[in-house]
Structure 1
Amino acid sequence: MNEEPTLPLPTEPSSTASVSAASRKWGGFELLARVGHGGFGEVYRAWDPHLRREVALKLLLPGVVGGDQEYQMMLREARALASVQHPNIVHVYGIDRHDGRVGFWTDFVRGKTLSVLLGDQGPFGYREAALIGLDVTKALSAVHRAGILHRDIKAENVMREEGGRILLMDFGLSALPQRAANLAGTPNYMAPELFVGSPPSAATDVYAIGVLLYFLVSGTHPAKLTGLSLEQMKAALRKRTPLVDVRSDLPEGFLRVVNTAMESDPSRRFSSAGRLAEALAETLGSGATSASSEVIPPKKRARVAVFAGAGVLLLLIAGGAWKFEGSRRSSPASAGTSVSDDDLYQRAEGLLLRSYQEANTVEAVKEFQALLAANPNYALAQAGLGTAYFIQYRGSDDPRLLEMAKAATSRAIQLDPNIAPPYVTLARIAAMEGQNALAMQQAQKAMSIDKRNADAYRALSEVYDAEGRGDDALASMQKAADLAPDDWRWAMNLGGLYLKAGRLDEAAQEYKKSADLAKDNATAYYDLGLVAMRRNKLDEARASLERSLAIEPNAGTYELLGELLVLQGKYGEAVTTGKKAAGLSPNDYRIWGDLGGAYLMTPDGHEKAMEAFRKAVTTAEEARKKEPNNPELLVLLADAYAWLGEKDRSAVLLRQTLTLSSDDPNIDYRAGATYEILGQRDTAMRLIAKALARGAYVADFERDPYLAGLRKDPAFTGILADAKSKNAVDTPKKRA
């Protein structure tokens, strides 16, 4: 029962060893360095000539896998692992056999494992441990849904990547045949039933997470089993040290979660990784303070600041400049700035608050640069410059701007770690990337610095939204609006949350407020038009969209207006509008698909429709190279193929879409509409009814000319009623 090396291992110099010239190859891979070894195999940093990138390659020792039957079993498991897409899981790329050895390869990740971090900085605070546990349990839940067990969860197999993302790694034991022994794993993390011959299960993985949480907050394990005989292990497990005896200062709720996860009786543990995640979330509560405010050794606080700088700026949605609410906190870094400097800073900040106009962002950059030329240590100006660069990056996708944004924001934190705006930005970045634990930490850090910072509540709202906690997301965003009622952004964000929840009247009210607060904001009128369409107020929607276009001609707005005109039966105008959209954004597959649909409804428009659909396929396939698992892209590509008569391709893409979409009602609706084109009405009715029962595209469905036949089908009424009934039953469970 050897402890397996982590895959991939942290890339610290001491962990690598050169590879002899005689063994530099395995199949097509070039072995660069051995970074670990254990009882089942070796781990290498390797070069993949096909992907043209470094990967972590795990080569199992000869004899670990027997004949073809066992290899095929591993191959099926590896394929299942490769299908799991989750931001907190290291992606598995492939598995193969060469030179009598089985190997599989994954991302090569740079960072430090939790065991290394704990050794460097001492035990974690319980909040930080709980936030890490949330990411691990969500990753494990995705693995379990794929029918896979991890079987070796431990601190060495969880990494904090450079930038802060938590990653669950090393699925080597999960892919090993069962004959590799039920006791395969790390003794200190293994559930008691494994020592009496019971097979591994989801419950044994849950137990391991309980031990992991215990270890993170205490630096020790409940029972030290390594090096003991089987009987000695059983005896040691019966004498486990309760966590409260090691850390009596921990809250009762956290202790209860750990104890439940580590129950000796599997039936008394959390019934799933998801249930454990819910319990951890409850220990934090909506009013939790920053994890970094726990009693942490000074060395740990310094490291947290480093991570804050390393993961800088990957997200700000439109108009996402921060606003520093309340009095600005002075610091040694920004002390000595003159009144004129402060005036210039306020002007630049005001420009960023109107960043929906590109010229304002350009001018803000100049203002911040002028400030920093006069005073390079002005931390808030550094943070503002980073924000401005990132807004420009969002509009151009120029990677140089992103690097400039990272550098400026990192510099701001170095100058003054006690200002809120940089942490707000980091929280929003992490929420966008699915790094919810890190996002929560950064948002809470910002709140601990400035409790009146409306942006911090907005960031917290985005974390809750990413976790599917809609009510909490709305409550946090409302706090932001209460703190700064004249800021158009909060009304716009509230409108978006209400729209997502299907609360259309409230969404319309907030979007109207946003437009009134920023009358020159084209995006606000676009949103107002969108929600009016969903409310089936098409004339009102058209007026808002045309107002938006009068302020700023935009391809996306023309596209939405074209969809509206199709619903109004004004197909010639829809074609004209669609051509304007394509002229502004010729590589947007959505626009070409909509234009093809409009052409279909015009006299003699069939050939031009097919030409537009072919253009949609070309542009979508190009985009697919970068986003192969984007459900929205795949479902629209399936639609274009269906109109072009390539039914088999369309059907394959639809199945892939529905597998990836996680029960998204909007995707269900679009997939159903495409199944109608393919002539598979039963499937079309089921998916569209399911989507409509959850509030998706109700107004569109009532007018959609392509679904006229389905609407008239007598069977659809019963299917829709059944879907609404099921949705009414399921909704309370989801809220719970």
Structure 2
Amino acid sequence: MQPGQTISHYTIIEKAGSGGMGVVYRAHDSRLDREVALKFLPRHVKPDSDDAARFRREARAASALSHPSIGHVYDIGEEDGQMFIAMEFISGKSLADILESEGRLAFDRASIIITEIASALGVAHEKGIVHRDIKPANIIVSESGVAKIIDFGLAKLNEESDLTKDRSTLGTVAYMSPEQTQGSDVDQRSDLWSLGVLFYQLITGKLPFGGGYDQAVVYSILNEAAPSPSSINPDLNSAVDSFFERALKKDDRERFSTAADFLDGLSTTSEFPVLDLSQAKTPLTLKWVKVAISVVVLAGLTILIWTLFPPGNAASTNEIDSMAVLPLRNLSGDTEQDFFVDGLTEELIVALGNLEGIRVPARTSSFAFKDSDADIGDIAAQLGVSTILEGSVRKFENRMRLSASLVNVETGFQLWSDTYERDLSDVFTVQRDISSSIAAALKVELAPISETVSSSDVDYVAYELLLKARYLWYRRTQEALIQAVDYYEQAIEIEPGYAKAYSGLGQAYAVIGFYDWLPPDISFTRAREAAKKALDLDPTNSNAHATLGYIALYYDWDWDESSVQFELAIETDPNNPVAHQWIANYLIVTGQFDRAIQEMRETIRLDPLSLIASSALGFTLNHVDANAAVDQHLKTLSLDPNFVIANFWLGQSYERLGNFSDAIRYIERAVELSNNDGTIVAGLAHVYGNAGRMDDAKRLISELVGRHSDGYVSAYNLGKAYIPIGDFDNTFLWLEKAFADRSHSMALINTDPQLNPLRGDPRFSDLLKRVGF
């Protein structure tokens, strides 16, 4: 390559270096107006060779990592049969050059570098990536003083090991761990050995294991103890010697097992300067980093600015219009913290939904991929998005560490990344920082968020109770919702002005009322009180408006007020899938089926993998086209064959088509899956009657009447069960009871297809008028 030569949209400036794995050029990226490093494989390397495969893997490995001390990868391409990677160009010196010119470094300076590199390796190891070639030449110290790891060309991904199972001794011998010199499989402990060797060299000016040739070095690594650092550098003390005794143990089981352990060990040396970083803002502020000299403050500020406002580390964002937030991974080792991690994910989904022009699929769709090993491309295809935000959370005591990265699915490269370690009380600030940083990276506006006590000023204990309540609310079981109510009420007791807690309490009671788990006069009245209080505190709360619309629809039978509240919910938050689904319910009740279908489809666009939204579309279609409803319900069951409501509503659609055998099969399955839910058992009695199985129908009806005496069973659905056996008197008896109970199902009386046999009866006309039709 010659200066001035153009490769794709990169113009070569000069040759920057070369090594066994390729030649590196400094180049100018004309598209984004920045300097980059272009790394080419030598021409003699064949595209199907191990070196070429290793080269491709370097790009994948490095692009998956997000840390200020890891050199960023921007692009990968090919020119005239030569592959290249476009990487961050780091203006600075390698540690090899620094050691050559300075001999050795002061302990304080060396410990800063090692801390930054250990922190970066910790991020790589969490993603299952082992560098395998930590050495001075692969660490660049930028002009601003930040140490960065480059060349993940030898990285061993745990998920992709075909090229490493030959046990070849890749790497540079003097920095190899004992297991690596023997060609054994290696993990993160090998990198930490290499880091220990590098640290030893920085503070002594010598390698711990020497020899005149490679085999002599290998022999020393396997059989000889390293001289104590203090015997070479008298400025070091015995605590430093003790650290290296563990860092360079021959048996990897006795070595530091993680980067966190390594840093913990380093923090015990009296040589290591101490500073309380509890309020620090840089991504490197692990609890072990305690540096008190001014260069660290400068480095930390540089890293923060660099991370929040990266110098062109994003590919073109012109076509980015959507983003999925995958469930954050819980790295705490405690499943009891799932509620906290899931809650943070949901908060980010809501916050990022405020990005102008960016569609963010709702929580339900995102959480379909919790603990999934699905390919990121497949996830993006299913959710219909162009970018994906993924990350992890580690919670320890009253601290949390959140790492996140935004990936362009088409290119596979990162658009933004950052790591935050903060007190738990700063969780709201972290959420805002992430949203603002992503908005800056995508060059879009972040819509203003109302500042109320429901956000940044809330007591953390109340916030944690809110997260627990939401976690249970999504489980949608009776026991879970009752416990959610308790958590919401505890949060409100601690923080009486907490709008989100009141809103959640209202939603919980509304759903309890819908499923007939409490009498309607209790559940919907409590739901209304909570939703109104939420709006008193925060008039922009979309969910509270939606809940009031839900109550007006299913309890008040006030169609006009229901429409007003649902429209307010959508106006306040156009991306609220619940509001769109619930206004569709209103449209069904009022017979506006075409609009109802449109709103249900919009719900699915916002929440593509929501089982309840998919099922609700089938329920809506059943009013106008039972065959289309069957197709939709089968699509839902392809996502989850055990989803109760889809089995139930599919059976009802088959029943409407006269296919009673399939109807009975699916509704019987729904009864089994729901543990004999009263509403579904009533539906089974109904289809038994239509199929001519009168004795079975009457038996189930008798059982339901008995259950109604012992507890709450929907009178509306019990009344419908009498229709196929021709007992209209009992049908109206139970419908009148449903009217007196203000059963939510009475809202459906005007359009429920199963009530068609009653429509010529004067009693039915009278009932319609009293309900409000």
TM-score calculated relative to the size of structure 2: 0.47
Higher-Rg structure is: 2
Instruction: Answer 1 or 2: which has greater helix percent.
Output: 1
| Between structures 1 and 2, the one with greater strand share | 2
Per the normalisation by structure 1, the TM-score is 0.49
